[in-house]
Amino acid sequence: MVNQINEQFKQQIAQAGRSGDAIIECRAKEGFLRMKIKWNPHERQIDLTKSVTETLSTLLQMMGVNVKIKIGD
């Protein structure tokens, strides 16, 4: 069921013309997580990256984590 939902989501995103590449670095012992995303189309990079940031923030808050976001250029 989860795989089917993921596939449907991927199809919807592809139809919207979005794609990209991501690298996630995790050092679990240190509680360290870093992610770099390159979006296509590049013109949407800022909006899509901020959207992922907000989604991750919401998820962490739902898990009882206090979140501070630092946005730079």
- Per-residue model confidence as pLDDT tens digits over 7-57: 888 888 777 777 889 999 999 999 999 999 998 888 888 888 998 999 999
Say if pTM beats, i.e. exceeds, 0.75: no
Q: Are 39 and 18 in contact (CB under 8 A)?
A: yes
* Residue 2 pLDDT greater than 80, yes or no: no
- Is 60 part of a structural domain of the chain? yes
- Is 50 part of a structural domain of the chain? yes
- Is 62 part of a structural domain of the chain? yes
- Compute, in degrees rounded to 10, the torsion defined by CA atoms 40, 26, 59, 52: -10
Domain count along the chain = 1
* Residue 64 pLDDT greater than 90, yes or no: yes
* Residue 73 pLDDT greater than 80, yes or no: no
The residue range of the domain holding 37 is 18-66
- Is 12 part of a structural domain of the chain? no
- Is 38 part of a structural domain of the chain? yes
- Is 71 part of a structural domain of the chain? no
Measured CA to CA in angstroms, residue 51 lies from 28, 45, 47, 56, 57 at distances of: 24, 10, 6, 9, 10
